Structure 1
């Protein structure tokens, strides 16, 4: 027994020594790199003479502003916020046009099925189920990605993104993660699957896993419609019409910042527990600012990113439409399978400030976040296929009639922000990590965080007598 205890102590001491050695090696490396740059700067000051008539060094002047501790962060958030605003505002019109075109095709398909005397169930599965789901996914995902990815690639080509990584490196390093995670996190705003692919730029397998697992906490363009619609109804709707859009946008921005905070907290927790390790050094030599290559930017963003991610989304969204239609139209007893599922989940849903139908909508929306609201509306209206209402006011009336309060709306937004990744993202995590174990963890961990946050919010509201 004493020998076993001694062996355990020796093992613990060995692990401690190894961790200490790793920390020392990283410290020595940082000191060496720092000394090299300091010596280079001193030598340059002694041997390099500057012509007073020489033009202003704009790269240095821009870096003094963009990487400053005082101005760097505000400018960074303004730039990313501007990209976010352009994406949301610019996607509305093309989304509507694409939706009208695709749903026009649905009408022609329906006429074709009628002319062929096809069975109603076949029309339901293929047209109202699979095709309608694909039409929603394409009309909702394509325009934002086609705007966001070129904007993001443009910032990359200009040389600004390395400055973003430089500014956030210290923050992510304190969270036990890698400075480059700030870049992969930003890519997640366009699509979490694209953010996962972007994690290839992180050399450390441990830190790459942390970045992949936590990328889901920033909302993608599939979750923005849910956040914006509910914020407009229950937050913006509480103010005068001329301020409602501004207030709703500000509230969504607060949710985004909350998602980033959860990203940092979760990264720190993972780095201290299941993915324990010392953060790797991130030596970044800032590249010069460049004139962007427009054609290359468009090709990279549209072909390599937008079409690639959209293709994966389509593959996993089509089965979702099929399953949803089946669950809504197969009757067991006197109720559909969908209603039975909602009834089973109702007690748990109420405990976290939601209801059974909301949870079913999120579960069936696993392949594509865009279809969560249509599934929820279909469930409340007891229809046999996914649909959308004509206006936000009609949606508000439907939700309130089914027991929604401001607390319900808040919890739906929080759950939408934090819950499990969509099917496309999980598939991408499986491909990039090569591990089913980490893919399951990437699905279960965010779900647990979302449930805990909603439960805490609900209990606080009940203790304060707000519900």
Structure 2
């Protein structure tokens, strides 16, 4: 992609090492909402936005994080193409104040190709806490370019940064001179100059300033304790989500059922035809109400908790712990990071696969990303676990049991991902795993208020709105299918009867398979569609409790085997429509898109068939 310069607009490139706060600065200056987090590799293509200062319009381009202009990866190629060939008016180079010497190497490379540079020395607050003192004026003198100290997450110093950029772009061209830059194109010279500069401007008041992080990492990345602690942490998050979502879900069900009564009164006052009122209220409204009541509470709890882990810097530690497993599967260790992104949305997980340099390993990550349950499937998994799999357990063991089941489901998803990755690497995507270096970022205290707001508005409500857009027409369709008859049976019943023989082999029924098929646009609507399908009138049950849903499922022939097979199919089935379109865009191939559709679906069908037939054979 080429971003052309428009007359009268100053083009600014935002460059730097991974995880130095580029996306945070970009969001603060442009007002946009690019994803940020405490792990390297979030930005894999460049984004652009605008801001204005003193009547001058600036185009700000956020480049992927890189360590060098010597291209070895897709991210470095993107950044180098912008810096070397698109010639921005100013380059803001983000530098981590806690790792000055390493960050200076890229800065010196950029200074070798352009003098229009402003250095943003970020994380000054962390540097002070660690006893790292940087003489900013001396650093600016040695480099010959403006240097501005900032704490971008808190917005500190950004006003000085934009003024410095304005000064360089409009008023004062910079010329980089001085003995420190002689022979700077040599790799050895770059390292020596970076070391020389850092020794000149740095003072360490605490020699063991990294000891705290190292002590924590001895536990969280331990060969013996790393993975068990990861599972305990995830289990705790699921327990908090399940325990915290119970009461809000019940309240929402009660409120939404009360609203329904008023909707009936409104329809009567408007003399609305009964068929239209039933479509809108029994079909559309009740489906939307169920989506909101079941999905909103767990997402509103899970997303902030997961984002706190992300901002804390824990996700790269997960990748570190799992790297050996992915290597044995001939996959890439960064695939663990793409799986973590898949928790929020599988489409985002597919896009994040760009951080994997190897085309073969990137394709493996794309094809297996859907084995990670996304936000649309989590509420369904939680509902199944709570109302059926542990429905008869006494409190508080029911919530602990549900959390254990969800954690076990994630472990099984990881295992299936590794097995399928291994099979792909031995068949159609043959090859050896490539090594990689993953930077473990420092642990940072999350900004809890900002995390909650960002998670609610950027993730939870966005996903909920998307689900509601799909659920509304789907609810109307189910009502129509359930209320139009053909040979004394509804069209819906005919469809379910057609699918029923095949579904029985899988431990399911025709209505369940039909709900999955109609739920292709969004995973979130499978349970609402299934619930409506089970009712003879095509309308949803009263939204008063999850216990009512359990009774409905039992009345329609559900057993523990049905619940387990349904659970497995929720974990392992085709990606939603948005994810499929994203896969097509990323791979530029309908063939690989079809493979991404078939692989998890076939796995789910095989597992359900094996479990159902084994249980029936044993007579359990």
CA distance in 1 between counterparts of 2:208 and 2:550 reads: 63
Aligned twin of 1:281: 435
Work out whether residues 316 and 424 of structure 1, in 8 Å CA contact, stay in contact via their aligned partners in 2: no
Aligned twin of 1:155: 309
Cα gap change, 1:431/1:82 in structure 2, threshold over 3 Å: closer, same or farther?
farther
CA distance in 2 between counterparts of 1:54 and 1:259 reads: 40
Question: 1:162-241 counterparts in 2 under 5 A?
Answer: 162-237=316-391
Work out whether residues 137 and 368 of structure 1, in 8 Å CA contact, stay in contact via their aligned partners in 2: no
With CA pairs under 8 Å and 6+ residues apart, which has the higher RCO, 1 or 2?
1
Cα gap change, 1:359/1:399 in structure 2, threshold over 3 Å: closer, same or farther?
same
Cα deviation for residue 183 of structure 1 reads 2.4
Cα deviation for residue 340 of structure 1 reads 0.2
CA distance in 1 between counterparts of 2:294 and 2:582 reads: 20
Cα gap change, 1:80/1:288 in structure 2, threshold over 3 Å: closer, same or farther?
same
Aligned twin of 1:360: 514
Work out whether residues 317 and 367 of structure 1, in 8 Å CA contact, stay in contact via their aligned partners in 2: no
Q: 1:402-424 deviations in whole A, cap 9, x for unaligned?
A: 33333222212212221223344
Cα gap change, 1:318/1:441 in structure 2, threshold over 3 Å: closer, same or farther?
farther
Work out whether residues 350 and 582 of structure 2, in 8 Å CA contact, stay in contact via their aligned partners in 1: yes
- The answer to whether 1:114 aligns with 2:249 is no
Work out whether residues 210 and 270 of structure 1, in 8 Å CA contact, stay in contact via their aligned partners in 2: yes
More helix by share: 1
CA distance in 1 between counterparts of 2:419 and 2:394 reads: 36
- The answer to whether 1:462 aligns with 2:586 is no
Work out whether residues 481 and 492 of structure 2, in 8 Å CA contact, stay in contact via their aligned partners in 1: yes
Aligned twin of 1:123: 277
CA distance in 2 between counterparts of 1:141 and 1:63 reads: 35
Cα deviation for residue 454 of structure 1 reads 0.9
**Secondary structure at the counterpart of residue 188 of structure 1:** helix
Aligned twin of 2:408: 254
**Secondary structure at the counterpart of residue 189 of structure 1:** helix
Q: Which has the larger radius of gyration?
A: 2
CA distance in 1 between counterparts of 2:531 and 2:296 reads: 23
Cα gap change, 1:152/1:201 in structure 2, threshold over 3 Å: closer, same or farther?
farther
Cα deviation for residue 256 of structure 1 reads 2.7
Work out whether residues 386 and 402 of structure 2, in 8 Å CA contact, stay in contact via their aligned partners in 1: yes
Aligned twin of 1:305: 459
**In structure 1, which of residues 143, 148, 154 is the aligned counterpart of residue 297 of structure 2?**
143
Aligned twin of 2:171: none
**Secondary structure at the counterpart of residue 325 of structure 2:** helix
More strand by share: 2
CA distance in 2 between counterparts of 1:310 and 1:101 reads: 18
- The answer to whether 1:94 aligns with 2:248 is yes
CA distance in 2 between counterparts of 1:297 and 1:239 reads: 34
Work out whether residues 148 and 190 of structure 1, in 8 Å CA contact, stay in contact via their aligned partners in 2: no
Q: 1:383-439 deviations in whole A, cap 9, x for unaligned?
A: 222336745555444434433333222212212221223344434444554544433
Q: TM-score, normalised by structure 2?
A: 0.61
Aligned twin of 1:413: 567
Aligned twin of 1:376: 530
CA distance in 2 between counterparts of 1:282 and 1:147 reads: 34
Q: 1:27-77 deviations in whole A, cap 9, x for unaligned?
A: xxxxxxxxxxxxx9xxx9xxxxx9999678212222222211112112222
Aligned twin of 2:489: 335
Work out whether residues 574 and 601 of structure 2, in 8 Å CA contact, stay in contact via their aligned partners in 1: yes
Cα gap change, 1:110/1:433 in structure 2, threshold over 3 Å: closer, same or farther?
farther
Work out whether residues 374 and 387 of structure 1, in 8 Å CA contact, stay in contact via their aligned partners in 2: no
Work out whether residues 137 and 371 of structure 1, in 8 Å CA contact, stay in contact via their aligned partners in 2: yes
Aligned twin of 1:323: 477
Q: 1:270-329 deviations in whole A, cap 9, x for unaligned?
A: 233333343333211222222323455345434443344334333333332232222112
Question: 1:26-65 counterparts in 2 under 5 A?
Answer: 57-65=211-219
Cα deviation for residue 101 of structure 1 reads 4.5
CA distance in 1 between counterparts of 2:208 and 2:384 reads: 56
Cα gap change, 1:277/1:141 in structure 2, threshold over 3 Å: closer, same or farther?
farther
Cα gap change, 1:286/1:402 in structure 2, threshold over 3 Å: closer, same or farther?
closer
Aligned twin of 1:74: 228
Cα gap change, 1:56/1:416 in structure 2, threshold over 3 Å: closer, same or farther?
closer
Work out whether residues 169 and 282 of structure 1, in 8 Å CA contact, stay in contact via their aligned partners in 2: no
CA distance in 1 between counterparts of 2:338 and 2:241 reads: 18
Cα gap change, 1:246/1:80 in structure 2, threshold over 3 Å: closer, same or farther?
closer
Work out whether residues 257 and 544 of structure 2, in 8 Å CA contact, stay in contact via their aligned partners in 1: no
CA distance in 2 between counterparts of 1:288 and 1:460 reads: 49
Aligned twin of 1:453: 607
Q: TM-score, normalised by structure 1?
A: 0.79
Work out whether residues 189 and 220 of structure 1, in 8 Å CA contact, stay in contact via their aligned partners in 2: yes
Structure 1: segments with no counterpart, 5+ residues: 1-24, 26-39, 45-49
CA distance in 1 between counterparts of 2:455 and 2:361 reads: 25
Cα deviation for residue 88 of structure 1 reads 2.7
Work out whether residues 574 and 598 of structure 2, in 8 Å CA contact, stay in contact via their aligned partners in 1: yes
Greater alpha carbon shift after TM alignment, 140-149 vs 233-242? 233-242
Cα deviation for residue 249 of structure 1 reads 3.6
- The answer to whether 1:134 aligns with 2:288 is yes
